[in-house]
Amino acid sequence: MLLEVKDLTVNYGTALALKGVSLTVGEGEVVALIGANGAGKTTLLRTISGLKSVRSGQVTFQGQRIDGVPAHDIVKRGVAHIPEGRIVFGPMSVYDNLKMGAYLRKDQKAVAKDIERMYSLFPILKERRKQLSESLSGGEQQMLAVARALMAAPKLLLMDEPSMGLSPIMVENIGSIVKDIHQTGIGILLVEQNASMALALADRAYVLEVGNIVLEGPASMVAGNERVRTAYLGG
Mean pLDDT of 41-64: 95
Rounded to the nearest integer, the mean pLDDT of the chain is 91
Nearest to 160 by CA among 35, 18, 76, 1: 35
Tell me the CATH number of domain 3-87+155-232, given options 2.30.30.30, 3.40.630.10, 3.40.50.200, 3.40.50.300. Answer: 3.40.50.300
Mean pLDDT of 139-147: 90
Domain ranges of the chain: 3-87+155-232
Alpha carbon 18 to its chain's center: 18
Mean pLDDT of 84-112: 87
DSSP string, 5-54: EEEEEEEETTEEEEEEEEEEE-TT-EEEEE--TTSSHHHHHHHHTTSS--
Question: For residue 10, is pLDDT > 80?
Answer: yes
- As a whole number of angstroms, the distance between CA 146 and CA 126 comes to 14
Task: Express each pLDDT in 55-92 by its tens digit.
Answer: 999 999 999 999 999 999 999 999 999 988 767 877 89
Question: For residue 3, is pLDDT > 80?
Answer: yes
Task: Express each pLDDT in 220-232 by its tens digit.
Answer: 999 999 999 998 8
- As a whole number of angstroms, the distance between CA 73 and CA 68 comes to 10
Mean pLDDT of 45-59: 95
Question: For residue 53, is pLDDT > 90?
Answer: yes
Residues in the chain: 235
